[in-house]
């Protein structure tokens, strides 16, 4: 455990102290049964005899003393007995509810194995089945009927020092649509990755579900549904709820508290981002996080094609928030290379459910208008690809199989190394599989996906490892960097900085193996590098509000990172002076 100052936790100070041998102890007033049921404190059978006696838990545990390594073995044996991924998800969430440090030790023992379980693609199935698998609430549920009382609801949350909030209203969960209150699995999963991948302490993370109802008829008729049973409330009442929520979070946790928007429908995602981005410390991961990870993949791909971003013509299957976010960041990258803004936009085309987005087409949104060009209307993606001959094809519309064999073969016919990104989640919504992409292009394609795919062996014996454009490469590092230096407003350059830093971490060996991203096993170091780059950018551009500026930024960030090592505990029978409670910076 890193040495640090202290935090008041729910009226119970957890006070780290060090002896002369630099061994760190954590002091708590909690005692007895409550200690073994608190996921922040619980060590299970790893509590020493001294701790059991002082904390009043002697006799509440079996008499054996075991290490975290042995606990890890037990968890893995139980994990292997589960029959499917949903069971594995439920099992791991139960572990998170019992012992946070052990949960994160398990995840970090094999990130590539466990991330698809605690997040995409399994989290999508978990959200669909949330009413069935629901055990213990994690995070806050705030409803449309709580208007006028959100500040008091936030007071019910037991942590007083929250640095990152992830919020959804459940209307567009992955590619699965309106799942209402069942969407809570998304902010819970995202913030688990803040800790596992970025090292943000879990006590500093708060998942929130804003329940305004659902238009999903099946959920409204489901007796196991856990949310409000009425249609979605929209209009002024919805906006008032969001305004009150944003103000209440900032009032309670400070203007530096990061608020990440997740899985809002297009109708709200853009306008809420534009409304709040200059008022609060906020970003939308579906727009900006997805953009950064996609652009990082493209920047890495440029090393294979030996070209510049401005040399490419890019077609999007989809014209929603993900497409718009990626397109905007691509445009910024082209401008950075020296291309005029208008010229950069002309290299980007979009296809939505009505066909090619062109000027003069009816009912174009403001966002789509920016990427509408003079061209005859075309209805199918196949025709668009054949006509425009793009160098890169990016799928973000959650239309399974949208990249047909003909489309992929056409891409290969006029590109030596066609760039094909099937980014829709979960796996069932992917535009094509890695095997299809590599097979139809004879292994020449540069491929990335949103959900993980297994390695593909080509007829010539080469094995390619598909790059997974997982937002987890971006948002944990961004969250760590933004909160570490107390940035108050996050601009698009932060995400371009993150994308460039991520692309720089891809090695030549990675590229030869088909990877456009570093191995997920390196995700913690990736997040650290991104955080340091963002902090450097923030101080260079006067965006940081933490002073004095850390002289060694990497060492500073490392000092903040959550560790899965167990703390040594003892108990105190008195309360700490009130002035100690005002110090806010504890790493558990």
Residue 175 is encoded by which pair of tokens? 């590619």
Which residue in the block uniquely carries the two structure tokens 């791909």?
A: 301
To the nearest whole number, what is the mean pLDDT of the chain?
92
Across residues 528-547, what is the average pLDDT? 98
Cβ pair 319, 371 in contact under 8 A = yes
Helix residue ranges, H only, 277-340: 290-305, 321-336
> What letter would DSSP give residue 211?
E
End-to-end CA distance of the chain: 7
Task: Establish whether 190 is a catalytic residue.
Answer: yes
Instruction: Please give the distance of CA 212 from its chain centroid, rounded to a whole number.
Output: 23
- Indicate the pLDDT class of residue 573, thresholds 50, 70 and 90: very low
| DSSP letter assigned to residue 517 | S
pLDDT digits (tens, 9 = 90+) for 108-123: 999 999 999 999 889 9
pLDDT of residue 584: 35
Q: What is the pLDDT of residues 117-156, one digit of tens each?
A: 999 889 999 999 999 999 998 999 999 999 999 999 999 9
Out of 8, 190, 429, 587, pick the active-site residue. Answer: 190
Is residue 566 annotated as part of the catalytic site, yes or no?
no
Q: Which of 16-30, 32-46, 478-492, 518-532 has the lowest mean pLDDT?
A: 16-30
Give the range among 66-70, 244-248, 391-395, 464-468 with minimum mean pLDDT: 464-468
| Tens digit of each residue's pLDDT (9 = 90 or more) over 220-241 | 999 999 999 999 999 999 999 9
The pLDDT score that the predictor gives to residue 569 is 83
- Band the pLDDT of 571: cuts 50, 70, 90: low
Q: Which residues are CB-neighbours of 556 under 8 A, at least 6 positions away?
A: 484, 535, 550
**Could you tell me the two tokens for 52?**
């059991």
- What's the chain's Rg over C-alpha atoms? 24
DSSP letters for 417-486 = S-EEEE--SSGGG-SS-HHHHHHHTTT--EEEESS----EE-TTS-EE--EE--GGGTHHHHHHHHHHTT
pLDDT at 450: 92
Q: Of residues 119, 238, 465, 473, which has the active-site annotation?
A: 119
Inter-CA distances, 50 with 60, 65, 99, 217, 565, Å: 14, 11, 20, 56, 18
Nearest to 166 by CA among 195, 144, 146: 195
Strands of the sheet containing 446-449, edge to edge, are 355-356, 348-352, 314-317, 392-395, 419-422, 446-449, 467-468
The pTM of the full predicted model, rounded to 2 decimals, is 0.91
């Amino acid at each position: 455990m890193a040495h640090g100052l202290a935090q008041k936790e729910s009226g119970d100070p957890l006070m780290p102290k060090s002896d002369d041998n630099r061994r760190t102890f954590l002091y708590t007033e909690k005692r007895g049964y409550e200690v073994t049921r608190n996921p922040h404190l619980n060590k299970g059978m790893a509590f020493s005899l001294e701790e059991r006696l002082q904390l009043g838990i002697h006799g509440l545990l079996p008499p054996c003393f075991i290490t975290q390594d042995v606990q890890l073995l037990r968890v893995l044996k139980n994990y292997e007995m589960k029959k499917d991924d949903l069971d594995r998800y439920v099992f791991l969430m139960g572990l998170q509810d019992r012992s946070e440090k052990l949960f994160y030790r398990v995840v970090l023992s094999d990130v590539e194995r466990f991330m698809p379980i605690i997040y995409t693609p399994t989290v999508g199935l978990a959200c669909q089945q949330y009413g069935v698998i629901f055990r213990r609430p994690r995070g806050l549920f705030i409803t449309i009927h709580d208007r006028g009382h959100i500040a008091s609801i936030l007071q019910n949350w037991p942590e007083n020092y929250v640095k990152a909030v992830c919020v959804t209203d459940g209307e567009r969960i992955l590619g699965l649509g309106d799942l209402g209150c069942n969407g809570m699995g998304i902010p819970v999963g995202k913030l688990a990755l803040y800790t596992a991948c970025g090292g943000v302490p879990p006590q500093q993370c708060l998942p929130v579900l804003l329940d305004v109802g659902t238009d999903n008829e099946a959920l409204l008729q489901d007796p196991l549904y856990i949310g409000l049973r009425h249609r979605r409330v929209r209009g002024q009442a919805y906006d008032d709820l969001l305004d009150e929520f944003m103000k209440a979070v900032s009032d309670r946790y400070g203007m530096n508290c990061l608020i990440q928007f997740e899985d809002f429908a297009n109708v709200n995602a853009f306008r809420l981002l534009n409304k709040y981005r200059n008022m609060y410390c906020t970003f939308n991961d579906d727009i900006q996080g997805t953009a950064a990870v996609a652009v990082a993949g493209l920047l890495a791909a440029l090393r294979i094609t030996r070209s510049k971003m401005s040399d490419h013509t890019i077609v999007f299957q989809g014209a929603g928030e993900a497409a718009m976010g990626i397109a905007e960041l691509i445009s910024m990258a082209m401008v950075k290379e020296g291309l005029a803004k208008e010229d950069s936009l002309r290299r980007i085309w979009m296809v939505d459910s009505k066909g090619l987005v062109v000027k003069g087409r009816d009912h174009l949104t403001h966002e789509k208008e920016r990427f509408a060009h003079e061209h005859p209307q075309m209805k199918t993606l196949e025709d668009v690809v054949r006509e425009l001959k793009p160098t890169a094809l990016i799928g973000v519309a959650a239309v399974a199989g949208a990249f047909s064999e003909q489309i992929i073969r056409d891409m290969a016919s006029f590109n030596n190394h066609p760039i094909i990104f099937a980014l829709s989640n979960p796996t069932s919504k992917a535009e094509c599989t890695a095997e299809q992409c590599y097979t139809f292009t004879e292994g020449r394609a540069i491929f990335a996906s949103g959900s993980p795919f297994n390695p593909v062996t080509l007829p010539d014996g080469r094995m390619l490892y598909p790059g997974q454009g997982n937002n987890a490469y971006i948002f944990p590092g961004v969250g760590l960097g933004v909160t570490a230096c107390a940035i108050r407003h996050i601009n698009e350059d932060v995400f371009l900085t993150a994308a460039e830093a991520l692309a720089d971490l891809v090695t030549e060996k990675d590229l030869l193996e088909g990877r456009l991203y570093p191995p997920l096993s390196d995700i913690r170091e990736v997040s650290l590098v991104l955080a340091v780059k963002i902090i450097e950018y923030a101080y260079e551009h006067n965006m940081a509000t933490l002073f004095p500026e850390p002289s060694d930024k990497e060492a500073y960030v490392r000092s903040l990172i959550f560790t899965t090592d167990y703390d040594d505990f003892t108990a105190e029978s008195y309360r700490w002076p009130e002035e100690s409670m005002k110090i806010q910076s504890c790493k558990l």
